[in-house]
Every structure is written in structure tokens, then in C-alpha cells.
Structure 1
């Protein structure tokens, strides 16, 4: 390490230490965020170090993160993207690739998903000319069931794309078996559930493809960023091509001739020997991340196990503290699962002597941040009303979620004192309303 670099990094450490607050929690004044990044001195150093080296595009840190994260998530390949939403777009679009031949998804094919979710799980279905088939979820777990998915399978069904709700796994082993039995693709949106398990197996390891987000609200953060993971090397190659402009070449920018036949290809109707670095086999995008993001991701990844345990611990403290409070449906883990929780979800009973909005306003007035369970019933939003789709069964629970449900935080930045204040505030409100 050069003398100048060491001086800069030493000053960065001092700066970090000098800018940390006193950590004193003041009830009703200190913000209790529902989600957020937990960043320490090592994270700040990693960002500055990458900046000093001017690693402004994807490079060494990106490749190291991809290989490390793939090992951690027990997949063969991981490809970084600029967001979790882009990861979902790439995963879905990969299933339309001509390289999959007869198995490829084509416009008009149906994809089963849930109505009570986040738009970017569903948007890539529509963006690829596919038809979403919406099913309802269970209250309490806020996930759909294998039975609902089975009832939705029709002659045009070709894939299933579902997110693990707020870190709580859906019945992924059973749904993965349905996919096998009916020759369907399964994409797991694992953006909220990194570290969750079902039947002792990590979520994100049941389907052909899985996606992750590194937005600050999630288990790990790069500021922005996401990832597509798979155990299928052919699908991984398709994802990489689509992410990197659609090109056929797999050399990194600045590299050449890793295949040792850069000028020996003949593809499409191009002349023989056309430069492989500029042959495009997919209609792709540029959805890459940068080394600055990856450098932060590497220091965050070292803390993942601690983050997961903190989320579980915080969720359990809220669950135990609010147990027995009337008029509130408390969350439940899906049977046979061990969730790495994203949030603590509450549903106000329809016959409660207060409205969800009243409880939310009370909590927000005490600086306790709340969030809706994302879109509620997506089919009721203006963006989707006129979009082609099919609904199987009713969406009654998704409608209840739209009207009655919200969640509060469990992320690792919350202290026991903060969580106890959330508990006492909810109890105080409910008791005052009878």
C-alpha cells in the first residue's frame, strides 16, 4: 500500500468514527425506520479504496463478489446487475431465448404469479409479451400455496414466478415439484429472503433461476444493485449475454480472445471471421453493476450471517411482545420454513374498532416508520387494469391486504429499545380503542 493511499484510508477511518452519532434513542423523536442499510467503517473504506483505484466499471471486485455470492447461495453462477428489478427482467427474458429451442417462452404463454406482490416481479412477464395468471395468498404467511398454483395450471402455462413474501418462504419444494411434473420453469424472486430456508434448504435453490436485490432496504446493500443466480450453465450464459448488450462474446470489457478464436466465427449472415466481440446473439440490454458497488457488496457479504440472525431475533421480539393483542392478525412462518425476515407484517381485523389508517397514523406520529405490503392487489392498480391477465379463484385475501395490512421493520439497525417502543405503542393504541 502506498504512503498516500494509507494516509487517505486512515483519514477515512477517523472521519467515520468522528461522524457517528451518540446512539441515544429518544422515543417519539428518533426515527425508527422500517428498513435501511447497516453500514460500518469497513464499508466506507471499501468504497473509498475502490474509488482511489478508479474502478468505475465492472471488474475485479464484481467478479469476486459474483463467485463468493454464488458459493454462499449454493448456485454455480451469479451475475451482478444494476438492480433487483433488472435481475427479474433478465431472469424472465432469459426464458425466451432462442437457445432454449422448443422450451423457450413465447408471446401469449402464461406465467403463474401472485396478485399481492411487488410490480417488478410481474412487470417482466408483461414486458416479454407473456400473460400473468394471478392467484391469491394466505393471510398470516402472505404467500400463495401449492394448491392454488396447481389449480392455475392450464394448457398455456409455461412458467411460475413468485416472490418469497417479506422473507417468508412460500411452499417452494411443492411448487418446484409441480413445475417438474408439468414441465414448467420456476423463477424464485428471492429479493426479500436471502438466508431463508425451506425444508432446511436455502430459498433460491429450488428453481431454474433466482433473483436478489441489493437496494438499501434488503439484506445486503450496494446502494443499488441486484443479481441473477442459477445452477444451469446454459441459462447463466444467456443471462450474461442479455445483461451485456446481447453480445455473444464472453470476454470482459478490456479483454480479448479468451476463446482463442475471436476472428474465426461465422454466425448469422455475417462474413466469416467477423470480430466475435461485436457479434450479438440476443436483443439485450446494458444492466451491469460497477466495481464501486461490488466493493461495498463484498464487505456487506462478510456480515450476512449476523444480519440474518439479527432479523430473526428482531422479528421474534416483536412477535412475542405483540402476542395476544386483540384485533391484529400477527404473522406466521410458513410451516417447515426458517425465514430470514424482511419485515413484521400486521393485518387489522375487518371488525376492529379502529381503521388500519388510524393505527398507521398513530405510529408514524411517533416516528415509527410503516410500509404497505407493497402493491396489495396488483390487479386494482391503474397500470394493470387494462393489461392482459387471467385470475384463478378469488383474490379476497389480496383485497384484505390492500385495505388492512402494513408492516414495520426488523432490519439489523433496530435496537431492543426501539422494538420495545414499537410494541408498547401498538398496545397503547389498541387498548385506548377498546
Structure 2
């Protein structure tokens, strides 16, 4: 592991004790901690229904299935995101239709969505990239006008706000992810939130091998012959094992209790980076809309090298920082230029020029709740040395 890791979960004794208590309870799956975790996340997003799942990717996949999206259908999404935003469309045999991004927010550009809509368009998957929720309200309006389902892939945005509404409240349903680099973590895990009770019940069935919602787990089955004896082995539909364990949910509950504290700590780290890097001509810093500083949910801190740099130079900066034990990464490579997408759809360089230009110059700096001033100073110093080296190489 790097001396300064790219990310790190914020775990305290509260989370450890919650997990230990769950282990001691003997109830490790389909129990009260799952129900509480679902309630906490749904309430935070002002949604009625929460469905805990094994990952954000699993949540997106199940929504595609539950909405009946399949071969012959098209789903509009962004080429600048983690690949799961598009893979979930391919998982059901539909076609992802990419729309280029807004260079300021890095989210899908609302002004370009309508020209991508066809009679085959069944949904839009909008991603608040890096936790920036800008344009979610405009995208929702476009979906409503065209009567297209909007799915909010909010896996990076828990705790954020847009137009005085929380991330997770836009569209027919939203999905969160709780991987260890996220604002809160369950180790692995995710959550679907929605106000559509029918959709929620279908997703609950899908996550549980297609069993009917409410089917008892084996430990909860009646011992009376004929009373629910076979319900655990009755399956209403093709389903999956996308359940989230009680252990993970206990960790999630403890993290949700600390969510506001964690968000504030991440804002402080982001503010320190901003202060130290704001006068560097070589850099483009994250664009936070005026007045949203206190409602921004920082997932990562991603800078861009200015237009004078190319992808090769950016990669040398990343390699140099890693040699000095500073964990950095290239968030995100464009989805449409990944080998599988090139081979399957014939995408090529130049298809989505804004995403491509930004993608080749991004650097995700070390970012987590407990990154201290000394570490931030070392990251910035190392970055400066690497940029100075690149300037020398240009001469």
C-alpha cells in the first residue's frame, strides 16, 4: 500500500462494535439490521422504499430487469463514469447510447440528450460524477417531457444536494454504492431507493433468487408441517443472489449515523486541497457551483491538468507520484474506448471529444475523511515536483 493511499474508509469503534454485536446475535442475513439500514438511507433521500443489495452494480442490473429493458431497447448514459453505469445495460441485452458531458460539471450534458432520443429509448441513466449532482433536475425534466424512465446512478453522491433535493431523490429510482472508497461503506454493498412500491417489491424478489417478497428465511420458517414449509424454495421469477448480509448492514447503520460528520470531514479535506492548489496555472480544479459548498458530497478529489498537457504526460505524472508513494489514479478512462466497447460497437477516438479530452488529463489525488494537513502538503509538493519535471521535458 502507498504511504499515502488513494482512499481509506472512516471506521471507528462504533462500527466495529455494531459488527461484533451482529456476529454475537447469530442473525447474519435477512434480519432487522437490513430493515433499519434500508429505512435510514431511504429517509435520507426522501424516498419511501429502500432495497439493500450486494453492490451498486447489482442494483443497477436489477433495475434494468425490473423495468423490462432488454434486447432492442436503448438506454442513454454517459461515457465518463465507472463502467458499471453502462455494463448494467449490456447485462440485459440492451444498447447503451452515450451522450457527451458538460466540461464544467463532468456530468452528461442536458443540452445534448434530446438529440440522442429515439423510439427505442427506454431509459436514461444519469450519473452525478464524483458526487457532483448538478443538472440532475434538468435531466429529470427532459425524461418527464419525453416519458422516459430516469434512473439516477447516485453511487458516488450520497449526501449531496441539487435544487434543494437530496441525491437519490431523482427519477423513478436511484442506486447508491458502498464500496470502501465511498462516503460511507459496508465493505461491499449498495442500495436501491424509490417511491414505486411495485418496483421495490420486484427488486426485493430479484435480489433473493426470485422468491416472493416476504418469503421467510430458513431460520424463520415455521416448524408446523404445511405452514410455509416450502416457501423458501418457491421462486416466482428468475432471480439472483444480490442480498446484503446483516454484518454489512450493521456497518452501514453505524456509518449512516455518522454520515453528516463524515461529509463534513471530507469537505474540510477538499477545502484544504482547493486552498493549496487554486493558484496553480497547470491545474483545473473541481468545479463546485457557487452556494453549494455545504451541500456538495465529495466522493473523490479529481484535478485536471491544463490543456497544455496530453495523456502521455499525465500518465508520467501519475507514475512519478506513485514512485514517491503517493496513491493517485486516472479517474475515469472513457467507457466507449474500453476494449470490449470498441470491439462490440466500433467506437473510436473522437466519438465523444469532451469526455476524451478531460479523461486523458484527470488525476485523482489521495482523498478520505482523515487525510491530515501534513499528508495534503506532501501530496501537493510531490505533484508540483512532477509538473516541474514535465515542464523541463517540454523545453
- What TM-score, normalized to structure 1? 0.82
| Residue 397, structure 1, aligned to residue 354, structure 2 | yes
| Residue 365, structure 1, aligned to residue 320, structure 2 | no
**Which residue of structure 1 lines up, in the alignment, with residue 41 of structure 2?**
69
| Residue 248, structure 1, aligned to residue 203, structure 2 | no
User: Structure 2 CA distance, aligned partners of 1:296 and 1:323?
Assistant: 36
The one of 289, 296, 311 equivalent to 2:244 is 289
**Which residue of structure 1 lines up, in the alignment, with residue 66 of structure 2?**
94
Counterparts of 1:307-326 in structure 2, within 5 Å, are: 307-326=262-281
Q: Tell me if the contact between 2:329 and 2:364 (Cα under 8 Å) persists in the aligned partners.
A: yes
Do the aligned partners of residues 336 and 243 (structure 1) sit closer, same or farther apart at CA in structure 2, a change above 3 Å counting? farther
Q: Tell me if the contact between 1:322 and 1:427 (Cα under 8 Å) persists in the aligned partners.
A: no
User: Structure 2 CA distance, aligned partners of 1:198 and 1:395?
Assistant: 26
Q: CA deviation at 1:153?
A: 1.3
User: Structure 1 CA distance, aligned partners of 2:83 and 2:154?
Assistant: 14
The one of 362, 367, 389 equivalent to 1:410 is 367
Listed as ranges, the gaps of 5+ residues in structure 1 are 1-28, 97-104, 264-273
**Which residue of structure 2 lines up, in the alignment, with residue 227 of structure 1?**
191
Q: CA deviation at 1:230?
A: 0.7
Write the deviation string for residues 90-143 of structure 1: whole angstroms up to 9, x where unpaired. Answer: 1222111xxxxxxxx342111000111111111110111111101111334221
User: Structure 1 CA distance, aligned partners of 2:15 and 2:274?
Assistant: 31
**Which residue of structure 1 lines up, in the alignment, with residue 201 of structure 2?**
237
Q: Tell me if the contact between 1:117 and 1:378 (Cα under 8 Å) persists in the aligned partners.
A: yes
Q: Tell me if the contact between 1:133 and 1:389 (Cα under 8 Å) persists in the aligned partners.
A: no
Q: Tell me if the contact between 2:158 and 2:297 (Cα under 8 Å) persists in the aligned partners.
A: yes
Q: CA deviation at 1:380?
A: 1.4
Q: CA deviation at 1:275?
A: 6.1
**Which residue of structure 1 lines up, in the alignment, with residue 31 of structure 2?**
59
User: Structure 2 CA distance, aligned partners of 1:262 and 1:408?
Assistant: 57
The one of 63, 77, 97 equivalent to 1:133 is 97
The one of 287, 298, 301 equivalent to 1:344 is 301
Report the more deviating stretch, 175-184 or 326-335: 326-335
User: Structure 2 CA distance, aligned partners of 1:390 and 1:364?
Assistant: 31
How many residue pairs align between the two structures? 383
User: Structure 1 CA distance, aligned partners of 2:166 and 2:112?
Assistant: 23
**Which residue of structure 2 lines up, in the alignment, with residue 169 of structure 1?**
133
User: Structure 1 CA distance, aligned partners of 2:66 and 2:254?
Assistant: 30
Q: CA deviation at 1:331?
A: 1.6
Q: CA deviation at 1:55?
A: 2.2
Q: Tell me if the contact between 1:171 and 1:334 (Cα under 8 Å) persists in the aligned partners.
A: no
User: Structure 1 CA distance, aligned partners of 2:33 and 2:279?
Assistant: 48
* TM-align CA RMSD: 2.5
Report the more deviating stretch, 120-129 or 422-431: 422-431
The one of 48, 70, 87 equivalent to 1:123 is 87
- What TM-score, normalized to structure 2? 0.90
| Residue 329, structure 1, aligned to residue 287, structure 2 | no
Q: CA deviation at 1:276?
A: 5.6
User: Structure 1 CA distance, aligned partners of 2:370 and 2:377?
Assistant: 14
**Which residue of structure 2 lines up, in the alignment, with residue 102 of structure 1?**
none
**Which residue of structure 2 lines up, in the alignment, with residue 5 of structure 1?**
none
Do the aligned partners of residues 256 and 51 (structure 1) sit closer, same or farther apart at CA in structure 2, a change above 3 Å counting? closer
Q: CA deviation at 1:37?
A: 0.7
Do the aligned partners of residues 109 and 389 (structure 1) sit closer, same or farther apart at CA in structure 2, a change above 3 Å counting? farther
**Which residue of structure 1 lines up, in the alignment, with residue 160 of structure 2?**
196
User: Structure 2 CA distance, aligned partners of 1:245 and 1:314?
Assistant: 42
Q: CA deviation at 1:420?
A: 2.3
**Which residue of structure 2 lines up, in the alignment, with residue 44 of structure 1?**
16
Q: Tell me if the contact between 1:82 and 1:224 (Cα under 8 Å) persists in the aligned partners.
A: yes
Counterparts of 1:251-262 in structure 2, within 5 Å, are: 251-254=215-218, 255=220
**Which residue of structure 2 lines up, in the alignment, with residue 82 of structure 1?**
54
Q: Tell me if the contact between 2:45 and 2:168 (Cα under 8 Å) persists in the aligned partners.
A: yes
**Which residue of structure 1 lines up, in the alignment, with residue 313 of structure 2?**
355
User: Structure 2 CA distance, aligned partners of 1:262 and 1:383?
Assistant: 50
User: Structure 2 CA distance, aligned partners of 1:45 and 1:405?
Assistant: 38
User: Structure 2 CA distance, aligned partners of 1:276 and 1:184?
Assistant: 36
Do the aligned partners of residues 336 and 143 (structure 1) sit closer, same or farther apart at CA in structure 2, a change above 3 Å counting? farther
Q: Tell me if the contact between 1:111 and 1:130 (Cα under 8 Å) persists in the aligned partners.
A: yes
Q: Tell me if the contact between 1:329 and 1:349 (Cα under 8 Å) persists in the aligned partners.
A: yes
Listed as ranges, the gaps of 5+ residues in structure 2 are none
Q: Tell me if the contact between 1:372 and 1:405 (Cα under 8 Å) persists in the aligned partners.
A: yes
